[in-house]
Amino acid sequence: MVLNRVFNQPPVMHPKARQDITRQNVGELFQTAAFRDLVANRLANSVKIPTITYDGMGHVGEDSRWDVFYEFSDYLRKSFPRVYESLTVETINEHGLLYTWQGAQEDMKPLLFMAHSDVVPAGESTTEAWTYPPFSGYYDGEYIWGRGSEDDKSNLIAMLSAIDCLLACGFAPNRTVIVSNGFDEEGGAEQSYGARCLAETLLDRYGTNGIEMIFDEGIAGVEKRFGTDFALPATAEKGYIDVTVTVNVPGGHSSTPPDHTAIGYLAQIVRLIEDHPFTSQLVRNNPTLTYLRQAALYSKAMPEDLRQAILSSQSPKKLLDYMDSDRERRAMIRTSTAVDVIQGGDKVNSLPENASILVNHRIAIQDSVTAVKDHYIQLLGPWAKERSFKLYAFGAQSPPENATLTALSNTSDSGDLTLTAHYELEPSPVSSAEDPRFALLAGTIKGVFGDDVVVAPEMLTGNTDTRYYWDLSPQIYRMSPWRACHDPRGTRMHTVDERMPIKGLMEMVHFYHEFIRVVDEVRIEDT
């Protein structure tokens, strides 16, 4: 393990040009109750439109469940007339929205913001548990309540509100600004009708690495750790693979069972999988290492033994033990394993002929899709051999040694063990925290949230729509720019009582407003 080189915390950055905009918007407008309520109601009314994406939805134009997105697009047009009059707004594949604010300097690569308008279902079984109905969009003066209020309509409304404010002041960008809004980010990994089509359009238009930098959703970006406020834009995200493990054995009447049914065999396999996790590693290109270094240098209340373990690089085991002691930290450095779905059995007096599990993996930066498959083969191959099972591993048959098909067919307890993979995504490229574009982001964050905020890159354990945008820019950041402390009960995305604090929403508007201006004033090659 080798710690990343430390980068110095950048200075606070504020826009230098058009100080009248700073006075008019940041100093005055953003502080008014009327503007706060305007933005809150924009979000609240967007939440009332149930733009739900379900798993397994049919093609756009064929599945009527997509039709609600027409209502959402109409709502945005009516809510932001100035944006629609001044920007080029394109509809991609029926419900994807591409906003282009053309800059005066064509040789400056565009700044790209991403968001998505779809939400996960609220769940009928939990409807009664919500403080307010999940699609009420209720605004109580402190929070906007409802599904999608945080993930991710808050970002979209904040982006468009910031642009609207700049347009009202007559701001004309030098650098083109793009907002790319997808509509099926929550719809599962197998197919994308939104982000994929949007990314293909942008790649055709601007070419490989034709975008200066990309900013998409992520965790609530400013949170307290070690007694210190940290802003944590993710500069990489883990890979993804689902693995189905299926056991097939002869059936029969339950009155004369074998020692193990298909479900019994599957239980052995589940235990094997969970008892043999992937190895935790702190590799050099994992942004978690840079975060740890920054935390050790700048945090106010880190335990001294941990601080020294990070700074000295002499205690790798102590550092690994610290990361492994908490599941959130562990996920940053290990390929995760989650046995999420199990199926098997039809009737109580009938032996199950097959049983299966679906296992989700988020692939750590040091691993790969192939490494996950090899892990299964190495782990379950000996199990199958010992029990004379035929192993079909990811499309290839591996019959047990010293066993013929005839012998297998005459062994009552023998069967088939099949491994299949669904949706394979390698870990993302890592955006460098030493790049001048990261310094622009970090400086703007400090300008909005305060110079005492420590900015450090982090690994995102989930996946965003940026997986389709990797070829557009080497610098991709994932973060929702608001303080998590505004909701003391923690973020509530994807669960009961999802809500967005109005203070956080206003911070998002402020950030997008300032980031557009800061990046507009800088030619990257000159930084």
CA dihedral sign of residues 186, 189, 193, 195: positive
Q: Does the annotation place 216 within a ligand binding site?
A: yes
SS (H, E, C) 392-415: EECCEEECCCCCCHHHHHCCCCCC
Quick check: 1 and 322 in contact, CB under 8 A? no
Selecting among 152, 184, 185, 507, the annotated active-site residue is: 185
Q: Does the annotation place 151 within a ligand binding site?
A: yes
Quick check: 150 and 44 in contact, CB under 8 A? no
DSSP state string for 211-251: SSEEEEEEEEEEEEETTEEEE--EEEE-EEEEEEEEEE---
- List C-alpha distances in Å: 458 to 111, 298, 409: 21, 16, 53
CA atoms of 159 and 509, how far apart (whole Å)? 6
Q: Which residue has the tokens 């079909």?
A: 392
- List C-alpha distances in Å: 217 to 117, 370, 377, 398, 482: 12, 28, 36, 43, 11
CA atoms of 98 and 183, how far apart (whole Å)? 12
Rg (CA), the chain: 26
Spell out a b/e string for 58-81, using b for 16 or more CB atoms within 10 Å of the CB, else e.
eebeeeeebeebeebbebbeebbe
Interacting residues of 58 by C-beta distance below 8 A, sequence separation 6+: none
Element (H, E) at 344: strand 338-344
Is 20 in the active site? Answer: no
Q: Does the annotation place 346 within a ligand binding site?
A: no
459 phi, psi to nearest 5 deg: -90, 135
Quick check: 156 and 71 in contact, CB under 8 A? no
- Find, among 107, 198, 98, 208, the residue nearest to 472 by Cα: 208
CA atoms of 233 and 499, how far apart (whole Å)? 21
CA atoms of 414 and 385, how far apart (whole Å)? 10
Amino acid at 35: F
Is 118 in the active site? Answer: yes
Q: Does the annotation place 229 within a ligand binding site?
A: no
Element (H, E) at 88: strand 88-92
Pairing state between β 143-145 and 239-248 = unpaired
Quick check: 393 and 378 in contact, CB under 8 A? no
CA atoms of 132 and 154, how far apart (whole Å)? 18
Selecting among 118, 465, 498, 507, the annotated active-site residue is: 118
Q: Does the annotation place 422 within a ligand binding site?
A: no
CA atoms of 167 and 159, how far apart (whole Å)? 12
Residue set of the binding site: 116, 151, 186, 216, 494
Name the residues annotated as catalytic. Answer: 118, 185
Residue set of the binding site for Zn(2+): 116, 151, 186, 216, 494
